[in-house]
């Protein structure tokens, strides 16, 4: 079902004649729904472009009605609007919207109510125009068969609806969990889709996260990747399959076939050439356009998540064993944090950065220089040119790499003894662990 076929607008109750007339002038059909239960019957929301809820002056009643409608309506892609009878109703209605269920997105709070709008019921043309301008996206294919590879958890709730919308033109899909995400709140799957003729398409990757993070990743890809990272060093996004609901969004891109994740390659032998190829290949466009800027490093470190802030910063000392804090010449975590955040503005070489360049976001195909980057949600500019190399280094040094033991304190001491650069003295250590070669 395409967005163009979603012509019906539901009015909870009986729509005024002038509203129905204005909707008709915009090729939309008015549909009266006497109760919330009638709206929530299976399949009722799927063909709807919008749902209109008139406010009768009862805040508690409105809160109850929206509480039942907000998730199913917004997850279906339809718009949800409260119809005001007069101007002085905006205050109490806004208060109701502000108390809708709160959903935490990353480090910021986002209210579900921000997706619920208000319209002036005394302006029929305005009500109809608001509905006509809403783009509901694809509807949900309730007949879609969803299979799961063994070990893949069931998908339920909003994310199940989003999958049925994103792949609504297929008969069957098969999900395989792509392990290794650092966030437990995200769902990432390989999706093999079968059309109605029994033919399979090239595989997709579907990534579920908060709608804010999904929106940020799509925007970052458009701003920093499409025309700035050489093709084919990134997996193309399929924007027509990217959908969002009340709190979650779904990003769909093409799957990187015949490739191995970089952290899996670490246990197979030296990867120094691949690391060199990463900065000479996918990242060369960003880094060749670097320039010197005056920035406050402490603020950048907080923005990029390198340093904690707020409550996380207050409890920083508790994270580290006291024995290490008391080591000779090593400042305690709180003192170190203050030193960095107090740094004055200074000249720093900056460029576009990936922002989350850990070893699980890099795939290597047949050749050592045929690398593909994924997950551009944290891509930003300007940031220090050292951010991506440092992020990758930390993931190699302290990340959980299958087939390799964790580095010991002694090895860390040798690896990070001064001077850090140039690392010529590390040549004799390369036999010790392949991670030294990569670093």
Q: Which of 37-41, 178-182, 202-206, 271-275 has the least mean pLDDT?
A: 178-182
Q: Is the pLDDT of residue 367 over 70?
A: no
In whole angstroms, give the CA distance from residue 10 to residue 6: 11
SS3 letters across the chain: CCHHHCCEEEEEECCCHHHHHHHHHCCCEEEEECCHHHHCCCCCCCCEEEEEEECCCCHHHHHHHHHHHHHHHHHHCCEEEEEECCHHHHHHHHHHHHCCCEEEECCEEEEHHHHEEEEECCCHHHHHHHHHHCCCCCCCCCCCEEEECCCCCCCCHHHHHHHHHHCCCCCEEEEEECCCCCCCCCEEEEEEEECCCCCECCCEEEEEEEHHHHHHHHHHHHHHCCCCCCCCCECCECHHHCEECCCEEEEEEECCCCCEEHHHHHHHCCCHHHHHHHHHCCCHHHHHCCEEEEECHHHHHHHCCCCCCCHHHHCHHHHCCHHHHCCCCCCCHHHHHHHHHCCCCEEEEEEEECCCCCHHHEEECCCCCCEEECCCCCCEEEEECCHHHHHHHHHHHHCCCCCCCCCCHHHHHHHCCCCCCCHHHHHHHCCCCHHHHHC
In whole angstroms, give the CA distance from residue 178 to residue 360: 11
CA atoms within 13 A on the CB side of 65: 26
Q: Is the pLDDT of residue 352 over 60?
A: yes
In whole angstroms, give the CA distance from residue 47 to residue 67: 21
The model's pLDDT over 293-347, given as tens digits with 9 standing for 90+, comes to 998 888 888 877 777 776 565 555 555 554 444 555 667 777 888 888 888 999 9
The model's pLDDT over 387-430, given as tens digits with 9 standing for 90+, comes to 999 999 989 888 877 778 888 888 787 777 777 766 655 555 55
pLDDT at 15: 95
pLDDT at 415: 77
Place of tokens 């390198």: 306
Q: What angle do CA 373, 384, 291 make, to 5 degrees?
A: 100
Query: Which pairing describes strands 48-54 and 79-84: parallel, antiparallel, or unpaired?
Result: parallel
Place of tokens 């595989």: 203
Query: Virtual CA dihedral for 168, 171, 177, 178, nearest 10 degrees?
Result: -70
Give this prediction's pTM.
Answer: 0.83
The CA radius of gyration of the chain, in Å to the nearest whole number, is 26
Q: Is the pLDDT of residue 52 over 80?
A: yes
Q: Which of 386, 385, 391, 380 is nearest to 356 (CA)?
A: 391
Q: Could you tell me which residues come within 8 angstroms of residue 192 by beta carbon, excluding any fewer than 6 positions away? A: 173, 174, 176, 200, 203
Specify whether the CB–CB gap between 290 and 348 falls below 8 A: no
In whole angstroms, give the CA distance from residue 209 to residue 356: 16
Measured between its terminal Cα atoms, the distance across the chain in Å is 50
pLDDT at 323: 43
Distances (CA, A) of 439 to 51, 421, 428, 436: 56, 11, 14, 5
pLDDT at 74: 95
Specify whether the CB–CB gap between 32 and 15 falls below 8 A: yes
Mean pLDDT across the chain: 86
Higher pLDDT, 111 or 376: 376
pLDDT at 31: 94
Q: Is the pLDDT of residue 183 over 50?
A: no
Specify whether the CB–CB gap between 265 and 160 falls below 8 A: no
Higher pLDDT, 66 or 318: 66
The model's pLDDT over 126-152, given as tens digits with 9 standing for 90+, comes to 999 999 999 999 999 999 999 999 989
Query: Virtual CA dihedral for 41, 63, 163, 180, nearest 10 degrees?
Result: -150
Backbone angles phi, psi at 283, to 5 degrees: -95, 0
Work out the average pLDDT over 163-181: 89
**Quick count: other Cβ atoms within 10 Å of Cβ 88?**
8
The model's pLDDT over 238-273, given as tens digits with 9 standing for 90+, comes to 999 999 999 999 999 999 888 888 988 888 877 888
**Quick count: other Cβ atoms within 10 Å of Cβ 431?**
9
- In the chain, the percentage of residues whose pLDDT exceeds 70 is 86
Work out the average pLDDT over 352-367: 89
Work out the average pLDDT over 25-45: 93
In whole angstroms, give the CA distance from residue 325 to residue 26: 68
Higher pLDDT, 404 or 40: 40
Higher pLDDT, 331 or 61: 61
Q: Tell me if the bond preceding 130 is cis, omega within 30° of 0.
A: no
Q: Tell me if the bond preceding 419 is cis, omega within 30° of 0.
A: yes
CA atoms within 13 A on the CB side of 272: 10
Q: How distant is the alpha carbon of residue 173 from its chain centre?
A: 22
Instruction: Using pLDDT thresholds of 50, 70 and 90, give the confidence band for residue 1.
Output: very low
pLDDT at 342: 87
pLDDT at 312: 60
Backbone angles phi, psi at 228, to 5 degrees: -130, -15
Work out the average pLDDT over 210-230: 91
């Amino acid at each position: 079902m395409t967005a163009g076929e979603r012509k019906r607008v539901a009015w909870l109750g009986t729509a005024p004649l002038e509203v129905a007339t204005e909707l008709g002038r915009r090729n939309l059909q008015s549909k009266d729904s006497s109760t919330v239960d009638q709206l929530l019957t299976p399949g009722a929301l799927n063909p709807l472009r919008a749902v209109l809820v008139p406010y009768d002056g009862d805040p508690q009643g409105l809160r109850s009605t929206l509480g039942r409608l907000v998730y199913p309506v917004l997850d279906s892609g339809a718009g949800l609007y409260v119809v005001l009878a007069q101007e002085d109703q905006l205050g109490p209605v806004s208060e109701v919207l502000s108390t809708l269920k709160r959903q935490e997105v990353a480090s910021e709070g986002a209210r579900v109510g921000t997706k619920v709008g208000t319209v002036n019921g005394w302006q029929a043309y305005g009500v109809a125009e608001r509905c006509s301008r809403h783009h509901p996206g694809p509807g949900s294919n309730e007949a879609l068969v969803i299979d799961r590879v063994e070990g893949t958890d069931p998908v339920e709730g909003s994310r199940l609806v989003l999958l049925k919308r994103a792949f609504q033109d297929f008969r069957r899909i098969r999900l395989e969990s792509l392990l290794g995400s650092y966030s437990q709140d995200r769902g990432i799957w390989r999706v093999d889709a079968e059309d109605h003729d029994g033919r399979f398409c090239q595989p997709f990757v579907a990534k579920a996260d908060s709608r804010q993070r999904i929106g940020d990743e799509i925007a970052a890809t458009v701003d920093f990747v499409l025309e700035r990272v050489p093709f084919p060093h990134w997996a193309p996004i399929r924007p027509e399959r990217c959908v969002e609901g009340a709190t979650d969004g779904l990003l769909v891109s093409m799957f990187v076939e015949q490739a191995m994740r970089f952290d899996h390659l670490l246990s197979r032998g030296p990867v120094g050439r691949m690391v060199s190829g990463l900065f000479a290949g996918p990242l060369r466009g960003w880094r060749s356009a670097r320039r010197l800027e005056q920035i406050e490093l402490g603020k950048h470190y907080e923005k990029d998540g390198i340093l904690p802030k707020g409550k996380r910063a207050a409890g920083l000392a508790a994270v580290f064993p006291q024995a290490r804090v008391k080591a000779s010449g090593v400042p305690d975590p709180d003192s170190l944090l203050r030193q960095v955040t107090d740094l004055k503005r200074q000249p720093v070489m900056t460029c576009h950065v990936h922002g989350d360049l850990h070893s699980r976001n890099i795939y290597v195909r047949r050749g050592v220089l045929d690398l593909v980057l994924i997950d551009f949600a944290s891509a930003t500019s300007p940031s220090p040119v050292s951010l991506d190399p440092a992020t990758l280094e930390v993931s190699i040094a302290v990340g959980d790499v299958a087939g390799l033991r964790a580095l010991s304190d002694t090895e860390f001491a040798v690896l990070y003894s001064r001077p850090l650069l140039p690392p010529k003295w590390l040549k004799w250590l390369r036999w010790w662990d392949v991670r030294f070669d990569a670093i």
